[in-house]
Amino acid sequence: MTVMQSLVPIDRIEKLIFLVRGQKVMIDLDLAQLYGVETGALNRAVRRNKERFPDDFMFQLSEEEFESLRCQFGISKGKGGRRYLPYVFTEQGVAMLSSVLNSKRAVLVNVEIMRTFVRLRQMLASNADLARKLAALEKKYDAQFKIVFDAIREMMTPPIPKRRRIGFITD
């Protein structure tokens, strides 16, 4: 058992990764708690190093996005509320955070977060592979089952009886 596993379990980190604008992200408040710093301190460190955080590394949530996350996942409003909408960090943004936060805990937590992102990516890739295999099987077996269903339908339709002619038979 490594030191990091007792510090932040991977399943806890997985629950803090959300899908926003088609990207897996983590909210500034959750990251600050994991790193053991205040949210304001994390955001100040980011603002001091703005050039390290382009839009594909970090962005601010819209009011609708934040409300949606709050409703879907039970994110609390926090103590006293926030004056600003939260920032979210993509995988690259989280990696960059370790370079602006100068603490041993931040580095250790960052390693676990990166491992979690990699694990999620691997799970998605294996699910995509499974979906492709399933689609191939369906195509393969659809044709075979069509033949079976056609045969069953054919057996279900009663045979056309040989009709006896009505009337007299003359020689």
**Residue 41 and residue 29: Cα distance in Å, rounded?**
11
Cβ neighbours for 142, distance < 8 A, ≥ 6 positions apart: none
71 occurs within a structural domain: yes
CA distances from 126 to 73, 101, 168 (A): 25, 34, 76
Q: Where is pLDDT greater, at 126 or 45? A: 45
60 forms beta bridges with 87
- Residue 56 forms part of a structural domain: yes
DSSP, res 170: -
Residue 19 DSSP symbol: E
**Joined tokens for residue 25:** 């992200």
- Whether 140 maps to a domain, the answer reads no
Return phi, psi of residue 27, to 5°. -85, 145
Q: What pLDDT, on the 0 to 100 scale, is given for residue 51? A: 93
pLDDT at 5 over 50: no
Average pLDDT, the chain: 79
pLDDT at residue 3 tops 50: no
Q: What is the pLDDT of residue 32?
A: 92
Residue that wins the pLDDT comparison between 138 and 116: 116
116 inside domain? yes
Domain assignment present for 160:
no
CA–CA separation, 33 and 106 (whole Å): 10
C-alpha pair distances (Å), 91 with each of 6, 63, 120: 22, 22, 11
For the chain, the domain total comes to 1
**Rounded Cα gap, residues 51 and 160, in angstroms:** 82
Q: In terms of C-beta distances under 8 Å and separation of at least 24 residues, what long-range contacts does 133-142 make, across chains too?
A: none
Provide the pLDDT confidence category of residue 1 given band limits of 50, 70 and 90.
very low
**Rounded to a whole number, what is the distance in angstroms from the first to the last CA of the chain?**
103
Please, which pLDDT band fits residue 80 given cuts at 50, 70 and 90? low
Which of the four pLDDT bands, split at 50, 70 and 90, describes residue 95? confident
0.95 surpassed by pTM: no
**pLDDT value of position 81:** 61
Say whether 88 sits in a helix, a strand or coil.
strand
Q: Domain residues for 18? A: 3-128
Percent of the chain at pLDDT > 70 equals: 77
Taking residues 78-101, what's their average pLDDT?
A: 82
Does 153 map to a domain? no
- Domain assignment present for residue 107? The answer is yes
Residue with the larger pLDDT of the pair 77 and 35: 35
Average pLDDT estimate for 66-91: 75
